[in-house]
Structure 1
Amino acid sequence: MTSKRPRDLDDGRPVDDARQARQSTELSLLHTELTPRPRRSPTAALDHGVSLPSSPSQSRTSPSLASSKASKISRNLSPTKQLRKAELEETAEELKMINGGFGILPKELQDELMKDDDSFEFWNFGDRLGLGTTCFPDLSTVRQIYDLARRCFKNNHPESSWNNDVHSRVLNWVLRDGPCKDDIVDYRCCLTAQIAPEYQPINSRSKMVDYCFCIEPKTNSPQYRTIESLCKKRPGKSINHTDWADLTKYPIAISIETKGPSIGYETALLQVATWHSAQWRSLCWAKQDMNLLTFSCQIEFLPGIIVMQHHWWFVATALNEGGKAQTFERLLLGETESLLGIYKLSMALQKLVEWARDQYWPAFQSDVLGL
C-alpha cells in the first residue's frame, strides 16, 4: 500500500507530502510512548498507544478512522467496524441527524426564518423527532454571530479574533446565556493549559487546546469533597491532566481546538489526539497497579471539537480492545457561514452538553471518584 494519501475528499485541499511525513512521524512516536509515569511493569501499565488518522477521507456525514502505525496510514476499516463503542455510535447518530437538517427546527419559526435567509428549506421544519428538548437562539443572536463570522472570514482575521468574536459567542449562548444553560456544565477558555509532565508523551511535544467543557459539582456535594481529597495525591494536585487554574478541581468532559486561516486540520487533530491521550492516562492514573485490559471502564470515549474558522467538527478518542486509544474523525456539527448552520451548531452543542451531564459525569464518578 502506498504511503501517499489521497486528496481530502471533504475539503479538496491539495496534499502536502512533507507536512504529512512530519506529522506521521510525530503520530508514530505518540503511538509507542504513552504509558503513565512513573513506569510500572509491562503487565501492569496501560498500553496507551494512540492510533490516529492523518486526514479525513470519507463523507461529512460518517465518522472515519484510519490507523497510524509506524509511518504508514491504513484506511481499510469499514465504518461499521470503526464505531464499536455503543455510546459513541449513538452520539454520532444523533449528531448526524441534526446535521442532516430534516425537521430539526420548529414549524413556528418557518415563516420568519425562510423570509430572512435562503439557506433554509421547508423540510428543515417539523417535529424534531428523537432530538429531545432543544432551545433555539433568537434570530438577532444568530444574525450577530453570522455577521461577525463573515467579517472574520472576509478580512482573513487570525485565530484570536475568531475565538473572541465568534467561537466564544457561540459557547456563551449554549452554556451561559441561553434558556437551556446547564447548572453543572460550563466552559473555560484555557489557551495556556499545559499537560502535566506525568501524563505527557515522552517523545512527543506537549499540546494545548483552546476551550474545555468542564463539570462543576456544587462545593458542598460529596463529589466535590471527593475531588478535593483525591487531588492531594494526584500529579499536579489536579483531577485532570493539567494544573491550569480551576481545571484542577473541575473534570474536563469535552475539549475544543480552534484554528485560523493558516493552520491545517491535521495539526489540530494531532493536538486534540495528544491532549486526549494525556487525559486517558489521567483517568486511569489510580489504576496503574491493575491489569487495565480487564478493567471495566465506564467512560467509553472522550469527545473533541476541531473548529476551522466557520466549521465545527466532532472527533472522539476511545480505548480499543487492546487498551490503546484511537481517535475517530470526523462529523460536521455545524458552521457559521449560514443561519441554518448556526442553528445546527447550537443544537449539536446542546446535545454534547447533555451527554457530558448525563453520560460522562456519572461514568467519571464511577471510574475516577469511586462513587
Structure 2
Amino acid sequence: MMSLSLDDILVYTELVIDTVPMAAKKLYETLEEFAENKNLLPHGFQQAITEQQAIIQQQATTLQQATTQQQATTQQQATTQQQATTQQQAIPQMQIYQNKIQVYEKLKSCCRPESAPNDDLPGRIPSLNQIDEIVRKAIEIATRCDNESRWNGAVNLRLLDMIFEDPLTGPISKFGATDCTTAQLHKEFRPVASTARMIDGCIFRSFVDDKEWISAIKKFARINPTQSINHTDFIPTQYNPLLLSIENKKPAAELEKAKLQIGMWHAAQWKFLEWAVGEKLLQQRIARGRYEPATAQDQEDFKKEKFTALSALGFIPGIIISGFRWVPVLSTYDNDKKTTVLWTDTAFGTTRTIKGAYAAVAGVRELTAWGRDVYLPWFKEHVLIFD
C-alpha cells in the first residue's frame, strides 16, 4: 500500500482578502482592523487611560519636586558637577514617565466610538499595568534571546491567563487557556505521513457546571478512541472542548516548523470531526431502525451527509505566536482530496508595544467568540447526542 506524502495531507496558502474562505471573511476583516490598531478597546476604557495618565503625571511631579528640593538643600556645599549628576539621575526616569503618558494618549485613538455597542466577547481586558508588564517582559526575554519555553510561560500563557482570569478572584468565565505541550495526537486521527506533533497551548470551554452538556460529552467520550471530547487524550482537557490551538516559536525562528505543527494538529482535528460526525449519523440511522450503509448508493449518500455537516463548520482558526508576533491561521478541509488547507496571514497583534498587546488581546477574545458562537453550536448539532 502506498503511503501518503505530506503534500497529500497539508497544503499551505496565503490568507488575503481576495482568497479568504467566505465563512471566515467577517472574522478576517475584524482581525485586520486589530492589526491596524482600530477598535481594540471599548469607548469607556478611555477613562481608565486618563486615570492612569494622572497617576503617572503625579509620580513625575513628585520626582521633579524631590529632585529640586535635593538640589536646593545641597546647593551651598555641592560642586557644580555634583548638582549636574543629581539632575542627570532624574532625567531618564522623567523621560520614561513622559513617554508613557504619550503612549497612553495615542492608545485612546484605539478605542471604539461612544456610539459603538459594548462587546460581549469572552474574557476581560487586562489593565494598563498588566499590559505594561507583558511588554516589558517580552522585550526583556527577546533581548536575552531566551528559549521558547520562557516565551511561552512568561509572556504568552501569562497574557492568556490575564484575559480569562481576574488577578484576585481567578477564572471569570467557563473559558480558559492552558499549556498543553505534552498533548499527543491520537493514532486514530494522526495524519498518516506525520509523526506525533504537539502544540504549545490551547483555549477551551469548561462545562463542569452544565449537567446537560457534561452528560452528552461523557457519553461521546466513551465511544471516542481518545476517551475524551477531543482528538487528543490530554487529561486536563478530557471533557473540555478545544476551541483554539496555539503554537509558539522564538522570534523569527522555525516559523515553517510552526506552520507544520499546527497544520498537522488541524489535519488531525478535521479527521476526528469527520469521524465524530459519522458516528452521530450512524447512531441516528440505528435509532430510526436502519443499519450502516451497505449499498454503494447508501455509502455515497452517507458521505454526502458527512460532508454537508463538515461544510457547515467551514473553517477552524488557530494562532501561531512567533516571538512578539501573534499570527492567525485558518484551516479548511477538502473532502474530495482529504486534504487540510492551512491559511496563514500577517500578525494581528504584537507584545512589542502597548497597542500591539491590546490588539493581541482583542484578537484572542474575538477568536474565542468564534468558538462560543460557531464551533460549540455546530459541535452540539453534528457531534453530540443529548438526552
TM-score interval for Structure 1 and Structure 2 normalised by the shorter chain: 0.7 to 0.9
Alignment-mate amino acid for residue 92 of structure 1: Y
2:325: which partner in 1?
Answer: 311
SS of 1:168's equivalent?
helix
Whether 2:185 is the aligned partner of 1:195: answer yes
Distance 1:204 1:131, change over 3 A: farther
Percent of aligned pairs with the same amino acid: 24
**Residues in 2 aligned to 1:236 and 1:125: alpha-carbon distance in whole angstroms:** 44
Whether 2:364 is the aligned partner of 1:349: answer yes
2:62: which partner in 1?
Answer: none
1:96: which partner in 2?
Answer: 32
Alignment-mate amino acid for residue 303 of structure 2: N
1:269: which partner in 2?
Answer: 259
Alignment-mate amino acid for residue 170 of structure 1: L
Distance 1:321 1:202, change over 3 A: closer
**Residues in 2 aligned to 1:359 and 1:186: alpha-carbon distance in whole angstroms:** 17
1:359: which partner in 2?
Answer: 374
2:175: which partner in 1?
Answer: 185
Offset from partner CA, 1:64-106 (integer Å, 9 cap, x none) = 4xxxxxxxxxxxxxx42x22332x1111111112222235443
Distance 1:336 1:287, change over 3 A: closer
2:47: which partner in 1?
Answer: 108
Structure 1 stretch displaced more, 106-115 or 240-249? 106-115
Whether 2:11 is the aligned partner of 1:51: answer yes
**Residues in 2 aligned to 1:294 and 1:241: alpha-carbon distance in whole angstroms:** 19
User: How many residue pairs were aligned?
Assistant: 304
**Residues in 2 aligned to 1:97 and 1:180: alpha-carbon distance in whole angstroms:** 30
SS of 2:204's equivalent?
strand
Alignment-mate amino acid for residue 156 of structure 2: H
**Residues in 1 aligned to 2:102 and 2:5: alpha-carbon distance in whole angstroms:** 48
Structure 2 stretches of 5 or more lacking a match?
54-97, 279-298
SS of 1:203's equivalent?
coil
Q: Contact conserved, 2:10 with 2:339, CA < 8 A, in 1?
A: yes
Following superposition of structure 1 onto structure 2, how do residues 17-166 of structure 1 map, counting pairs within 5 Å? 29-32=5-8, 49-53=9-13, 63-64=15-16, 79-80=17-18, 82-86=19-23, 88-105=24-41, 106=43, 107-109=46-48, 111=50, 112=52, 116=100, 118-119=102-103, 120=106, 123-127=109-113, 129=116, 132-133=119-120, 135-166=124-155
Distance 1:117 1:191, change over 3 A: farther
Q: CA deviation at 1:294?
A: 4.3
Offset from partner CA, 1:200-257 (integer Å, 9 cap, x none) = 1222222100001112113552221111112111112122111111322211110000
SS of 1:172's equivalent?
helix
Structure 1 stretch displaced more, 124-133 or 220-229? 124-133
Q: CA deviation at 1:151?
A: 0.7
Offset from partner CA, 1:279-327 (integer Å, 9 cap, x none) = 1111111345631464333322211100011111110112247464211
Distance 1:315 1:131, change over 3 A: farther
**Residues in 1 aligned to 2:266 and 2:172: alpha-carbon distance in whole angstroms:** 24
The structure in which a higher percent of residues are helix is 2
Whether 2:343 is the aligned partner of 1:328: answer yes
SS of 2:231's equivalent?
coil
1:174: which partner in 2?
Answer: 163
Structure 1 stretch displaced more, 236-245 or 283-292? 283-292
Q: TM-score, normalised by structure 2?
A: 0.71
Structure 1 stretch displaced more, 163-172 or 327-336? 327-336
1:10: which partner in 2?
Answer: none
Distance 1:294 1:194, change over 3 A: closer
Q: Contact conserved, 1:185 with 1:357, CA < 8 A, in 2?
A: no
Alignment-mate amino acid for residue 138 of structure 2: A
Distance 1:332 1:117, change over 3 A: farther
Distance 1:286 1:141, change over 3 A: closer
Q: Contact conserved, 2:277 with 2:382, CA < 8 A, in 1?
A: no
Alignment-mate amino acid for residue 221 of structure 2: C
**Residues in 2 aligned to 1:225 and 1:192: alpha-carbon distance in whole angstroms:** 27
Alignment-mate amino acid for residue 97 of structure 1: E
* Root mean square deviation of aligned Cα: 2.7
Distance 1:154 1:237, change over 3 A: same
Distance 1:96 1:262, change over 3 A: closer
Larger Rg: 2
Q: TM-score, normalised by structure 1?
A: 0.74
